[in-house]
Structure 1
Amino acid sequence: MLLPVRLLLSVLGGVALWLAFPGFDLWPLAFVGTAALTLATVGTRWWVGGLAGLGLGLTWFTPMFTWASTYAGLAPWIAMSVASALYPAALGVVLALLQRGGRVRPFVGAAAWAVMEQARAVTPFGGFPWARLGFSQADSTLLGAVSVVGVEGLGLLVALVGGLLALGAHRLIARRTAAAGEAHRPPARAGRPLGPAWLPLVGATALVLVPVLVPRPTAGEPVTVAAVQGDIPEGFTRTLTAERGTMLQRYTEQTTDLAQDVEAGRRPAPDLVVWPEGATDLDPLHPEGGEGTTARIMDAVEAVDAPVVLGGISRQGGEDPYNMVFSYLPGEGLDRTYSKVYLAPFGEFMPLRPLLRHLSPWVDRISDLSAGTEPGTMPVPLADGRTVDLGLGICFEVVVDPAVRDVVRGGADLLVVPTSNAWFGEGHQSVQHIAASRVRAVEHGRSVVHISNVGVSGLITPDGRVHERTDLYTRATLLGELPLRSGTTPALHVGPWVPPVAAAVVVVALLLGLRRGPARTRAAGAGSRPAARLPR
């Protein structure tokens, strides 16, 4: 296969991966995208594999991350896209080494994909696990598998399906290529027979369909949740508002309106009310203005007569700012707090600030937040005497495996994702975000309250279905029953093992490939012929 053909194939694979994610929702194209890189790297040199992987990464991440340029500008968006594309580039090198014998290797190739995704999830500066393969599958028949193997394993399965598709296609092409010259070749020099092309295609189909049989139980003690999406006033941005306290006023007013509807019998009374990240733009723990802020919040809490959980930035009476969640109880006031543990690089702290301030004037508008140290488990007592154990994942924490896993291990029976998507304009970031919450709901068998200040928000049941879904840049008060569940799925224990096992598989395969290389070279010199392969 000529180099331009390989590069074209990888570029088309990157486009397919981009289109697989929410916004376009063509989830089967995730299989096509992984298959394309597999075919582009079979039987070629390592540097060609690297170029193919880079081409796939650039055409995948550059259009996917356009939302990063909403306020930050062109340079940070391009830098983010290029940095992310380096990981598929490294994957392309590994795939080329694994497949240098000229045969597609779907299983070790899928393991290599899992290693690449894990590397991107934890490096650099803590990683940015957005756009992982598993998060493209919220509407897929493959989704049921996530409760068994976790998000890490779901991504591996997506890559395995792609690898099987590539194997079937490779066998078809190689068989036709070899058939033309086989009749003119002496029988003693005939290549080893290829397996049937239909077999890996049947395997891929079965792998995609079988997970629909995995049960997704939704039974559980119901809790009535209200989630308030306040939107932002016209002309405001996420970081620049006309007057501090404007956002808090919107949420207190909207919650008071809900209380009036409940009193009038137009809506049922909520057991719990949730506001999003940054719902209060005043610090309730400030030593000077904190009492007034708390009084304004408590007016809404007393009106609705239910606990209110909300997000905001606070210095906690000190110098370091934290991204926090506060819970307020009727008749009592502030009960508990959570400080975000997994901060987003370049959004909540700024690595390489002296360098990056030359790329965008927004760099110095972003303050370095301090990280919390305890997982986001928060028990909230309800008016009827029950206690709901919330598992909090602020904004991007929902895509961070340990953040979600730790709160489930800590006993959370309801996941809450308060977020602020106004940073990212009207692109696809918000729908990709709620899709990640849907995948997490199925992974851990938990209901999820996904509440954004501008949308898209929704109440998600443990089967991954969204209820009360909102649109972008609208005001809405979501209200519905969600089941509380405390049991754990196999994914809680299996998921963390997927990356290290995949890494071991890749390392062993590479070492075996190095040992077999000289032997194959000697065999070729003795007159034997390797298996049929695509031309370079």
Structure 2
Amino acid sequence: MTVTATSVGRPEQPAPPAAPSGARRMQRLVPAATAALSGVLLYVSFPPRTLWWLALPAFALFGWTLRDRSWKAGLGLGYLFGLGFLLPLLVWTGVEVGSGPWLALVVVEAIFVALVGAGIALVSRLPAWPVWAAAVWIAGEAARARAPFGGFPWGKVAFGQADGVFLPLAAVGGTPVLGFAVVLCGFGLYETVRVVVAHRRGDGGAPWRGAAVTALLSLVVPVLGALAARSLVSDKAENGTATVAVVQGNVPRAGLEFNAQRRAVLDYHARETIRLAEQVRAGKVPRPDLVLWPENSSDIDPFANPDAAAVIQGAADAIGVPLSVGAVVERGGKLYNEQILWDPDKGPVNTYDKRQVQPFGEYLPLRPLLGAINKDWTSMVRQDFSRGNKPGVFTMAGAKVGLVTCYEAAFDWAVRSTVTDGAQLLSVPSNNATFDRSEMTYQQLAMSRVRAVEHSRTVTVPVTSGVSAVILPDGTITQRTGMFVAASLVQKVPLRSSETPATRLGTLPELLLVLVAAGGLGRAAVSAVRRRADREIHAEQQRVTEAAR
């Protein structure tokens, strides 16, 4: 008798009659469409929307499409999920440079999701499969954050949870633990529905009871862990307070063209700082202890251009406190994206060079090959930026301010190294004028909120054109600006020096989850080999029996 493949606890049934070819095509299309739509659902869970909980049904549906599938099917379904998620999430990358780079980025990044889909399909036959599957997802994120060209962690599941109940888990083990909890809960949601449906159909027995326990734990443990982790979240001052001013000077107009108006951008930030100084003298706002300007607030090198230095010095004199300025600096024939600590009495006294520079934005990998394909591509990045080699912590009015420049906020190591180097509060100076009014600024703001909780630090976000913000160590935004307006935010914030478990553990939680994923994949591979051997033995026994007849 011909039988279908079975899952744990499911009795073998006679194979159903073959469906008409049209119905079979529809049956194949349903998982594919579901995989793509569940990816879109995950995108909708990301900022600027506050629908963080949609990540759970997104992974529940993704789990339904992958469970008991072959790895080849998982590869294709994972790629569709990746396209559904990343195409809308990263559309901002093509705002000014066209759809080509955006689509190329998505096509490459979705390959990682495809490999994850294949891995989840393999481990989906194991007992407690939601745990293995969630670990496989985090292993995929770990790979995507490191390769190619230094990685692209944008779109980590954790970055969509700034408003969610799972956020405190960032303080436990960083973005890997936070993301693992969300994905586990999503797969646990599907497993719960599957167990309930099977129970109603009468497919009971001990294996199903084990599946029910797995489903329940996958749903409950992440939530309980998040509730317990709330004790790690605090905005209490440990080293006093500092009154910070975040300046958003705005740009003459959106888009890449603003680089041709570099002096105007510098003047705008100086003018807004002088306006702030006038408000302080009038008693309208508190006097700040330090002032933070965004990335690229001076694209004119103040070390090589005395007029630019004079403008910055004038702003520093007006406000009378240390100023952190984002500048493009050339030194030794190399370009650096640099933060400069500018003292009103001493001038420039310290610098920080951005360490994680953006491929295809700040440097161009494969330049000869790309130039041969299209010369316009190489002209957009005429000279590559060089990387800094040490964390940036400025001592400003007694407060230790850690610098994490724009793109670096997406990288776990870049933020953590600044905190372990002594930062008592963080500043994420950014320039998003290139991306107009896209969702990019909101996605990056959510990253900063996660980092605030992860390391229990106040995070300030000075941006050229919006949205600038002040974020407390519990992830709460207390002040924010609009987009493409000149504004300043002044607030007294807590200074903290204690380290969360996430800060102390570093990459260890991620490494452990990668090892869990590797163990699950290894176990699944061994099981697959055994199943194949059993089928071959069974087939050989059938042939012998038939020959004996």
Question: Which deviates the most, 517-526 or 407-416?
Answer: 517-526
1:270 to 254, 265, 288: 288
**Distance (Å, rounded) in 1 between the aligned partners of 2:150 and 2:410:** 12
1:480 to 491, 498, 517: 491
2:388 to 369, 372, 387: 372
- Residue-by-residue CA offset, 1:459-511 (whole Å, 9 max, x unaligned): 11101011221111111111111110000000013341123222222222222
2:351 to 334, 337, 340: 337
- Residue-by-residue CA offset, 1:308-338 (whole Å, 9 max, x unaligned): 101010003x311100000111211111001
Give the AA of the match of 1:328.
Answer: W
Residue number in structure 2 paired with 1:314: 329
**Distance (Å, rounded) in 1 between the aligned partners of 2:406 and 2:525:** 44
TM alignment of 1:126-165, pairs within 5 A: 126-165=150-189
CA RMSD of aligned residues (A): 2.3
How far the C-alpha of 1:414 sits from its partner, in A, is 0.9
How far the C-alpha of 1:155 sits from its partner, in A, is 1.0
- Structure 1 residue 430 corresponds to structure 2 residue 473: no
TM alignment of 1:340-419, pairs within 5 A: 340-357=354-371, 358=373, 361-366=376-381, 367-380=383-396, 382=397, 387-419=398-430
Residue number in structure 1 paired with 2:219: 204
1:27 to 52, 57, 69: 52
Give the AA of the match of 1:335.
Answer: V
**Distance (Å, rounded) in 1 between the aligned partners of 2:201 and 2:384:** 58
1:233 to 228, 249, 252: 252
TM alignment of 1:251-270, pairs within 5 A: 251-270=269-288
Structure 2 counterpart SS, 1:449: strand
Give the AA of the match of 1:297.
Answer: I
| 1:523 to 1:392, Cα distance in 2 relative to 1, 3 A | same
Unaligned runs of 5+ in 2: 1-23, 540-549
How far the C-alpha of 1:379 sits from its partner, in A, is 2.0
| 1:446 to 1:109, Cα distance in 2 relative to 1, 3 A | same
2:522 to 498, 511, 519: 511
**Distance (Å, rounded) in 2 between the aligned partners of 1:502 and 1:469:** 36
| 1:197 to 1:512, Cα distance in 2 relative to 1, 3 A | closer
**Distance (Å, rounded) in 1 between the aligned partners of 2:416 and 2:293:** 23
Structure 2 counterpart SS, 1:314: strand
Give the AA of the match of 1:155.
Answer: G
Residue number in structure 2 paired with 1:46: 71
How far the C-alpha of 1:138 sits from its partner, in A, is 0.3
| 1:108 to 1:40, Cα distance in 2 relative to 1, 3 A | same
| 1:264 to 1:346, Cα distance in 2 relative to 1, 3 A | same
Give the AA of the match of 2:58.
Answer: G
How far the C-alpha of 1:163 sits from its partner, in A, is 1.8
Structure 2 counterpart SS, 1:28: helix
Residue number in structure 2 paired with 1:166: 190
| 1:258 to 1:30, Cα distance in 2 relative to 1, 3 A | same
**Distance (Å, rounded) in 2 between the aligned partners of 1:217 and 1:360:** 52
TM alignment of 1:65-104, pairs within 5 A: 65-100=90-125
| 8 Å contact kept, 2:78–2:114 | yes
Unaligned runs of 5+ in 1: 183-189, 528-536
Question: Which deviates the most, 491-500 or 510-519?
Answer: 510-519
Give the alignment's TM-score, normalised by structure 1: 0.89
| 1:474 to 1:260, Cα distance in 2 relative to 1, 3 A | same
Question: Which deviates the most, 121-130 or 147-156?
Answer: 147-156
Structure 2 counterpart SS, 1:369: coil
Give the AA of the match of 2:457.
Answer: R
| 1:55 to 1:177, Cα distance in 2 relative to 1, 3 A | farther
Give the AA of the match of 1:232.
Answer: V
**Distance (Å, rounded) in 1 between the aligned partners of 2:185 and 2:506:** 18
| 1:97 to 1:518, Cα distance in 2 relative to 1, 3 A | same
2:129 to 105, 109, 123: 105
How far the C-alpha of 1:18 sits from its partner, in A, is 0.3
**Distance (Å, rounded) in 1 between the aligned partners of 2:247 and 2:268:** 10
Residue number in structure 2 paired with 1:494: 505
Give the AA of the match of 1:285.
Answer: F
| 8 Å contact kept, 2:128–2:214 | no
Structure 2 counterpart SS, 1:310: strand
| 8 Å contact kept, 1:415–1:446 | yes
| 8 Å contact kept, 1:38–1:104 | no
How far the C-alpha of 1:202 sits from its partner, in A, is 6.5
| 1:34 to 1:356, Cα distance in 2 relative to 1, 3 A | farther
Question: Which deviates the most, 507-516 or 111-120?
Answer: 507-516
**Distance (Å, rounded) in 2 between the aligned partners of 1:511 and 1:41:** 18
How far the C-alpha of 1:340 sits from its partner, in A, is 0.4
Residue correspondences, number: 507
2:143 to 116, 119, 126: 119
How far the C-alpha of 1:432 sits from its partner, in A, is 0.7
| 1:87 to 1:446, Cα distance in 2 relative to 1, 3 A | same
Structure 1 counterpart SS, 2:437: coil
**Distance (Å, rounded) in 2 between the aligned partners of 1:435 and 1:336:** 29
Structure 1 counterpart SS, 2:95: helix
**Distance (Å, rounded) in 1 between the aligned partners of 2:33 and 2:71:** 17
Structure 2 counterpart SS, 1:167: helix
Q: Which has the higher contact order (CA 8 A, sep 6+)?
A: 1
2:342 to 317, 325, 328: 328
TM alignment of 1:512-531, pairs within 5 A: 512-520=523-531
| 1:51 to 1:414, Cα distance in 2 relative to 1, 3 A | same
How far the C-alpha of 1:57 sits from its partner, in A, is 0.2
**Distance (Å, rounded) in 1 between the aligned partners of 2:262 and 2:192:** 60
**Distance (Å, rounded) in 2 between the aligned partners of 1:198 and 1:73:** 50
**Distance (Å, rounded) in 2 between the aligned partners of 1:523 and 1:355:** 50
**Distance (Å, rounded) in 1 between the aligned partners of 2:330 and 2:190:** 53
| 8 Å contact kept, 1:76–1:359 | no
Identity between Structure 1 and Structure 2 (%)? 34
2:235 to 202, 218, 230: 218
How far the C-alpha of 1:196 sits from its partner, in A, is 6.4
- Residue-by-residue CA offset, 1:74-99 (whole Å, 9 max, x unaligned): 11111011111111100011111212
**Distance (Å, rounded) in 2 between the aligned partners of 1:509 and 1:88:** 17
**Distance (Å, rounded) in 1 between the aligned partners of 2:484 and 2:473:** 26
| 1:191 to 1:202, Cα distance in 2 relative to 1, 3 A | closer
Give the AA of the match of 1:132.
Answer: K
How far the C-alpha of 1:514 sits from its partner, in A, is 3.0
Residue number in structure 2 paired with 1:16: 41
How far the C-alpha of 1:9 sits from its partner, in A, is 2.1
Give the AA of the match of 2:223.
Answer: V
